[in-house]
Amino acid sequence: MTSFTFEKLVIFGVGLIGGSLARALREGGRAAAGGIVVGVGRSLATAERAKALGVVDEVAALDDDDALRRALGGADLVLIAAPVAQTEPLLARIAPFLGETTLVTDAGSTKTDVVAAARAALGASIARFIPGHPIAGRESSGVEAALPDLYVGRNVVLCPLPENRSADVARIEALWRAAGAEVRTMEAAQHDRVFASVSHLPHLLSFALVEQILGEPDAALKFSFAAGGFRDFTRIAASSPEMWRDVCLANRTALLAELDGYAAVLARLRAAIVAGDGATLETVFTRSREARAAWQERGAQASGPAGDLAAK
């Protein structure tokens, strides 16, 4: 991990993502060097839980003006780690309390909508907002699920804006590298197309399979016989429904294009099954198997010990 110092980091949404960043910084010894981590929640009880677990030093409630002013006073860094639909109201809420040198970043799974939300909420202060997306997570959520090594060997994508200063982007890069992440940059629209394909569509399909079985009269029997394949395919259906609702709606254009492409492949496979065309099925399955093996091997080589985690 790289050397990194900060005065005060304020995290809005101290759950898995925000909590894991806090733990990575604190348990890496960097908070002990003078940095304070403040957790802000929609309710004080939520933030207090993070403090009780030792994830943050101080807490504040989002609806308390005085507490929010104190929390953001002297802050050099702010992380918005909340469902993407909350980005604009959150930024609008905190904008009056932000210092002139405070940098704000986010952890949202979509970026085009987040950039639009930031422009609407921050206006002329947009230069202080550096959009980001840590590519890490677990099926568990909440601060109890936070891990100090969640970001080790994982990618974080930043989508810098034309207004951002290069030094400010570099500071946010350093923040994530201090947590053990690899940082890459990408334009916001490209980010949303890429992750519609490799993240948002898989989550949608996972939820859809469970929903399909739930709607059948023998659902209980089928679930009783579900084993490894079903467990692996549907693991991500245990993710936050609120978060994935927002992601699907925020990235609807790119997600619908990927969904249509997937439906076309399903139609080809269905036609092959109807026709008894085993050669077509085997060709598709073989190509897919080889592509996945090559991808997993590249991930293992790039990430070293973290390769297995990065490939899941």
Query: Domains in the chain, start-ordered, CATH in brackets?
Result: 8-186 (3.40.50.720), 191-276 (1.10.3660.10)
Compute the Cα dihedral for 260, 223, 240, 179 and give only its sign. Answer: negative
Mean pLDDT of 186-208: 96
Predicted confidence at residue 307, as pLDDT, reads 32
Q: Rounded mean pLDDT of the chain?
A: 90
Mean pLDDT of 265-292: 97
Residue 32 has pLDDT above 50, yes or no: no
**Please, which residues have CB within 8 angstroms of residue 147's CB and are 6 or more apart in sequence?**
20, 23, 138
297: pLDDT confidence band, cut at 50, 70 and 90?
A: confident
Predicted confidence at residue 300, as pLDDT, reads 53
Residue 57 has pLDDT above 60, yes or no: yes
Helix (H/G/I), strand (E/B), else coil: 230: helix
Residue 310 has pLDDT above 50, yes or no: no
Residue type, 255: L
Predicted confidence at residue 311, as pLDDT, reads 29
pLDDT tens column, 114-153: 999 999 999 999 999 999 999 987 766 788 888 999 999 9
Which residue, 43, 182, 38, is CA-closest to 102? 38
For the whole model, what pTM was predicted?
A: 0.85
Residue 108 has pLDDT above 80, yes or no: yes
Bridge partners, 254 (sequence order): none
- What percent of the chain has pLDDT above 70? 92
pLDDT tens column, 61-70: 999 999 999 9
Mean pLDDT of 82-103: 95
Cα dist. 110→99, 101, 245 in Å? 26, 25, 12
Helix (H/G/I), strand (E/B), else coil: 81: coil
Residue 31 has pLDDT above 60, yes or no: no
